Amino acid sequence: MKLSYHGHSVVKIETKGKVIMIDPFITGNSLTDLKVDDAKPDVILLTHGHNDHVGDTVRLAQKHNSLVIAVHELATFLGWQGVERLHGMSIGGAFEFDFGKVKLTPAFHGSAYITENKEIVYCGMPSGILFTAEGKTIYHAGDTALYSDMKLIGERHSIDVAFLPIGDNFTMGPEDAAYAAKLLNAKTVIPIHYNTFPPIKQDPKRFVELLENQTCIVLQPGEFIEL
């Protein structure tokens, strides 16, 4: 399994011959190394409906016939935008796909898409994602505050890699993210959702310094690890 980071909250998982992208915010992402025309996801997983996470989902899904997995309300909205292959879920639910198991976890945040007509479209509850394949479990927290049930997630699931937001302002900052890493008891943590915009400017070294016993890997856009 290959895990790569591509700026903001964009994570790519390559497993079982499939390319899975989480929150493919490419257009407008000043930190990403990706180009929309070069991205070819078989599957797109979405944590919530904010524009900087839905990103280029519609364009990519239409071009590559990608399967898009998201909470039910967001999946329905994307269907109205022309996405054909959809799988709606809800928080706490899991589903076994041929490429791996997907389970949605709570996230404390908002979830609405802002249209070009200045309309705010409700997109259901925000979520985190537990993805399991090849005997490995990956946790993408999405945009979230620190909350105590992260301890329960860590107790119920042996997490190999956790992608945690550290940007503050809209999500956890370094201090809360470090405490979240402790609760989750993940073998490895990787910081995401920082430095894309001025309000979430952070030094990831600060996050590393705050960790107690967790292994942390700070990935630059385009860098990857293999499990």
As for how many domains the chain has, the answer is 1
Do the bridges between strand 224-226 and strand 127-133 make them parallel or antiparallel, or are there none, so unpaired?
Answer: unpaired
Radius of gyration of the chain (CA): 16
User: Of 57, 43, 46, 34, which Cα lies nearest the Cα of 13?
Assistant: 43
The predicted-structure confidence for 173-209, as pLDDT tens digits, reads as follows 999 999 999 999 999 999 999 999 999 999 999 999 9
For 61-111, the DSSP string reads HHHHT-EEEEEHHHHHHHHHTT--SEEEE-TT-EEEETTEEEEEEE--S--
The predicted-structure confidence for 57-74, as pLDDT tens digits, reads as follows 999 999 999 999 999 999
Residues 6+ apart with CB under 8 A from 199: 167, 168, 169, 170
User: Buried (b) or exposed (e) across 108-118, using 16+ Cβ within 10 A?
Assistant: bbebbbeeeee
The predicted-structure confidence for 105-147, as pLDDT tens digits, reads as follows 999 999 999 999 999 999 999 999 999 999 999 999 999 999 9
Retrieve residue 128's tokens: 């985190």
Do the bridges between strand 67-71 and strand 43-45 make them parallel or antiparallel, or are there none, so unpaired?
Answer: parallel
Q: Which domain holds residue 111?
A: 2-226
Q: In CATH, what number is assigned to the domain containing residue 204? A: 3.60.15.10
pLDDT-derived band at 213, boundaries 50, 70, 90: confident
pTM greater than 0.85: yes
Question: What pLDDT does 223 receive?
Answer: 98
Mean pLDDT of the chain: 97
